[in-house]
Amino acid sequence: MIVETGHFALILALALAIVQAVIPLWGSLARDATLMRAAPSIALAQFVMVAIAYGALTWAYVSSDFSLVNVFENSHSLKPLIYKISGVWGNHEGSMLLWVLILVLFGALVALSARNMPDDLSASVLSVQAWISGAFLLFILLTSNPFARVGMPPIEGRDLNPILQDPGLAIHPPMLYLGYVGYSMTFSFAAAALINGRIDAVWARYVRPWALLAWLFLTLGIAMGSYWAYYTLGWGGFWFWDPVENASLMPWLAGTALLHCTAVMEKRDALKVWTIFLAILAFSLSLLGTFLVRSGVLTSVHAFATDPQRGVVILGILTFFIGGSLTLFALRAPMLKQGGLFAPVSREGALVLNNLLLTTACATVFVGTLYPLALEALTGAKISVGPPFFNYTFVPLFIPIFFAMPIGQLLAWKRGDLLGAAQRLTLVALAGFVAALIFYAMQGGPALSAAMGGLAIYVILGSFFDIVTRVASGSSAGAMMSRAIGLPSSAWGTTLAHAGVGVTLLGLAATGWGVEKIASMRAGDSVDLGQWQVTLDKVAPRPGPNYRETVAHMTIRSGGAIVAQIEPSRRFFNSRRMTTSQAGLLNVSLGQIYVVISDQETEGPLDTRLYWKPFVSLIWLGPLIMAIGGALSLTDRRMRLGIAQRAKRRRGPEPKTVAAE
């Protein structure tokens, strides 16, 4: 009964989406306030319906209701509760439902803040949102219904793919979807602006929180996915330039450009057409990502839930929204009037450069990902585009970005002083150079790593330079403190986000200083791994809830003293007859000792790969810092349009500050 209720709620949600797609839009075109004001309540009702459907499916998973095809195929009664809950989105149907749930949740949030928006804007935005949610609800109901029953319910389920039985599944897809779907909001705002033929700094203010939110979650989602791949796939890599990784990187690059662009629009009312275009692009690429993952047109490590027929439907949705929005863009964009003027050397100019490089990088990833497919379709020739290609093309595009980041932050709006900014950064650049020399002297390793490390230090120090100089101009410690607190939180946000980029770069640089050992080990054998000695004590079986495990007990010593014990293992899942590898990980300051074992032949030696990866944690700490920066920017006073009135009562209008973006 609960399941049927969920199914019914989902159908109702589709009906509501259709109403929401038509009525408010009509109202906004016909300037009918009544029709426009219908939008928020329909959006809220739609959210409630989808939430009921999602809740019903979760209930079916938790109670192991194997009369549902979806639960039967992807769950098991012995599966730990966390994987029953996260298993809901560990398959195609459930993950699409999560996608729509987040979509209508965001729609509901817009509906709740609609009072603060012009009626026609909120009505058009919610209408466009409903077009998207309607399309996906239709897709779910027609081709991927999670509520389909089986006639003869089996006694036990087939279990979730063991690779997905990991805490990573609980975090990675929701984060990623929050990011992807967040760009549907910026898209809806862009489409609404085109429909209403009006775009200004006020519009940018409404869009900016969404651009920030989407970017923040996408950053976390990608980082989490990367870390998950790092510890599960078992060879210590963290980025494979896999098509599906690329599919998430593309919206991130476009979205990062969009984030910087909305800053220009909000502050200076410039780059409007470009902002709209980026908003369309970021969401189109998110849809493309969904299509690539769900259709299986590209070989990828995510090939666990693919179906070419559904792919065709998603391709249809993709074509409709990209084609429709670009047509709208072509018709309406020339009517959008350009705003503030600026000199080439200025904050705006720097952000244009940022946009140019980021979109070029995005285009590179796009071409690199889809070229093999296109070439094979056109000529039949099969080629591979792998990591070396991206190292030759993508990486060089990012080098100028790293150099320019601190400089751009110091340029004034409208007209900046490039030489002055460069001079002010002399010390920072010098520090980076010295750091590179120190890295080289200490590690002696590849010169490239030392240079990258120096560049990273330059980026990190450079991010803080602006804020430090602003704070340090206070006369006393107390004055400095109050200055630091008084700075807009978006200034701190920018600083942290940029510093996060530097932190990741440092982690990447450090990959060149790692140690790798491949050894056949017997009990009692030791392997020297840089400054560590790793000893295999014994190999023993261990039972798990729904798997059997072979664990290698290892002791890590440093100069004879025991540091820690790690237990790399291989898990065998009987339900799917699959083996997964669990890496043995030890965090030592910011580095990691990483050990994976392979299947042991009876009583033979154990093939072992051991790594010492100094500073490797920085690779994922960077995105975390970036996301914290994004969150700080979100708390900036000017974002909170709705609660601004309260703030005004407490304090008078404040002097205009030049906030850094």
Partner 1 sequence: MRAFFKLLLLVLVLAPFAARAVEPSEILPDARLEARARALSTNLRCLVCQNQSIDDSNAPLAKDLRVIVRERLTAGDSDAQVMDYLVSRYGDFILLSPPLKAGTILLWASPFGVLLLGLGWIAWAGRRRRNGSVKAEPLTPVEAAKLSSILDRQ
Q: Which of 92, 172, 609, 613 binds partner 1 (CB under 8 A)?
A: 609
**Smallest separation (angstroms) from partner 1 to the CB of 393:** 5
Q: Among 109, 356, 431, 564, indicate the residue that binds partner 1 (CB under 8 A).
A: 356
Site map 99..128 versus partner 1, x via CB under 8 A: -------------------x----------
Of the pair 368, 500, the CB lying nearest partner 1 is at: 368
* 444, 447, 450, 455: CA torsion to nearest 10: 170
Residues 538-577 that bind partner 1 (CB under 8 A): 577
DSSP class of residue 488 equals -
Interface pick for partner 1 out of 309, 384, 476, 589 (rule CB under 8 A)? 384
Burial (Cβ within 10 Å: 0-12, 13-18, ≥19) of residue 547: buried
d(CA 353, CA 296) in angstroms, rounded, equals: 35
Among residues 23 and 292, whose Cβ is nearest to partner 1?
Answer: 292
Q: Is 607 helix (H, G, I), strand (E, B) or coil?
A: strand
489 binds partner 1 (CB under 8 A): no
Give min distance, CB of 48 to partner 1, in A: 31
| Full DSSP string of 194-238 | HHHT---HHHHHHHHHHHHHHHHHHHHHHHHHHHHHHHHSSS--S
579 forms part of the interface with partner 1 (CB under 8 A): yes
CB of 480 to partner 1, least distance (A): 24
Closer Cβ to partner 1, 17 or 279, answer by number: 279
Given a contact cutoff of 8 angstroms between Cβ atoms, the answer to whether 275 and 258 are in contact is yes
Q: How many CB atoms lie within 10 A of CB 616?
A: 26
Per the document, the length of the chain is 661
Q: Is 200 in the site for partner 1 (CB under 8 A)?
A: yes
CB 630 within 8 A of CB 493: yes
Which of 155/656 has CB closer to partner 1?
A: 656
Q: For partner 1, which stretch binds (CB under 8 A), given 1-9, 61-69, 133-141, 349-357? A: 349-357
Residues 498-527 that bind partner 1 (CB under 8 A): 518-520
CB of 241 to partner 1, least distance (A): 7
Least CB distance to partner 1 at residue 581 (A) = 5
In the complex with partner 1, the residue whose CB is nearer, 377 or 477, is 377
Select from 74, 490, 581, 617 the one that contacts partner 1 (CB under 8 A).
581
Q: Provide, rounded to whole angstroms, the least separation between the CB of residue 321 and partner 1.
A: 23
Beta bridge partners of 555: 535, 565
Find the binder of partner 1 among 78, 112, 170, 296 (CB under 8 A). 296
Q: Which of 607, 624, 631, 634 binds partner 1 (CB under 8 A)?
A: 607
Residue numbers 157-196 binding partner 1 by CB under 8 A: none
**341: how many CB neighbours lie within 10 A of its CB?**
11
Residues 613-642 that bind partner 1 (CB under 8 A): 637-638, 641
The CB-of-348 to partner 1 minimum distance in angstroms stands at 11
Concatenating the DSSP letter of every residue in 226-276 gives HHHHHHHSSS--S----HHHHHHHHHHHHHHHHHHHHHHHHHH---HHHHH
Q: Is 202 in the site for partner 1 (CB under 8 A)?
A: yes
Q: Is the dihedral of CA 375, 377, 383, 386 positive or negative?
A: positive
CB nearer partner 1, residue 65 or residue 636: 636
Residue spans of beta strands (DSSP E) within 16-129 = none
| Nearer of residues 20 and 256 to partner 1, judged by Cβ | 256
Q: Is 354 left (phi over 0), alpha (psi -120 to 50) or beta?
A: alpha
Binder of partner 1 out of 18, 201, 333, 484 (CB under 8 A): 201
Q: Which listed residue (30, 540, 645, 658) binds partner 1 by CB under 8 A?
A: 645
Q: Does 653 bind partner 1 (CB under 8 A)?
A: yes
- Residue closer to partner 1 (CB basis): 356 or 563: 356
What's the min distance (Å) between Cβ of 537 and partner 1?
19
Mark 316-345 with x for binding to partner 1 (rule: CB under 8 A) and - for no binding: ---------------------xxxxx--x-
Q: Are 103 and 174 in contact (CB under 8 A)?
A: no
Task: Write the CA distances from 88 to 4, 167, 177, 216, 313, integer angstroms.
Answer: 17, 14, 14, 24, 22
Nearer to partner 1, 149 or 158 (CB): 158
Q: Which residue in the set 598, 624, 631, 634 belongs to the binding site for partner 1 (CB under 8 A)?
A: 598
Helix (H, G, I), strand (E, B) or coil at 613: strand
Cβ atoms of 143 and 310 closer than 8 Å:
yes
Site for partner 1 in 437-456 (CB under 8 A): none
Which residues lie closer than 8 Å to 187 by C-beta, 6 or more apart?
Answer: 128, 132, 279, 280, 282, 283, 284, 321, 325
Tally of CB atoms within 10 A around 477: 8
Under DSSP, the state recorded for 411 is: S
Question: For 538, left (φ over 0), alpha (ψ -120 to 50), or beta?
Answer: beta
User: What is the footprint of partner 1 within residues 253-272 (CB under 8 A)?
Assistant: 269
- The minimum distance between CB 301 and partner 1, in angstroms, equals 5
Closest CB to partner 1 among residues 385, 628: 385
Give the shortest CB-312-to-partner 1 separation in angstroms: 12
Q: How far is CA 329 from CA 27, 129, 359, 412, 569, in A?
A: 21, 17, 18, 31, 54
User: Of the two residues 184 and 275, which places its CB atom closer to partner 1 in the complex?
Assistant: 275
68 bridge partner residues: 149
Least distance from C-beta 448 to partner 1, angstroms? Answer: 14
- Reported as type and span, the H/E element at residue 509 is helix 489-510
Q: Which of the stretches 86-94, 382-390, 493-501, 618-626 binds partner 1 when contact is defined by CB under 8 A?
A: 382-390
Work out how close the CB of 130 gets to partner 1 at its nearest, in angstroms, rounded to a whole number.
25
CA separation, residue 308 to residues 18, 138, 295, 312, 315 (Å): 27, 17, 5, 6, 10
| String marking each residue 223-242 x if it binds partner 1 according to CB under 8 A | ----------xxx-x--xxx
Q: Which of 519, 543, 548, 539 is nearest to 602 (CA)?
A: 539
132/270 with CB nearer partner 1: 270
Pairing type for strands 591-597 and 606-613 reads antiparallel
Q: Can you tell me which residue has the tokens 């006639």?
A: 151
Does residue 414 contact residue 348 with C-beta atoms inside 8 Å?
yes
Q: Which is nearer to partner 1, 44 or 516 (CB)?
A: 516
Can you tell me which of 33, 303, 312, 422 binds partner 1, judged by CB under 8 A?
Answer: 303
Q: Is 486 in the site for partner 1 (CB under 8 A)?
A: no
Number of residues that bind partner 1 (CB under 8 A): 74
Determine, following the binding rule CB under 8 A, whether residue 658 of this chain makes contact with partner 1: no
Residue labelled with tokens 């109050």: 482
Report 386-405 residues binding partner 1 (CB under 8 A). 386-389, 392-394, 397
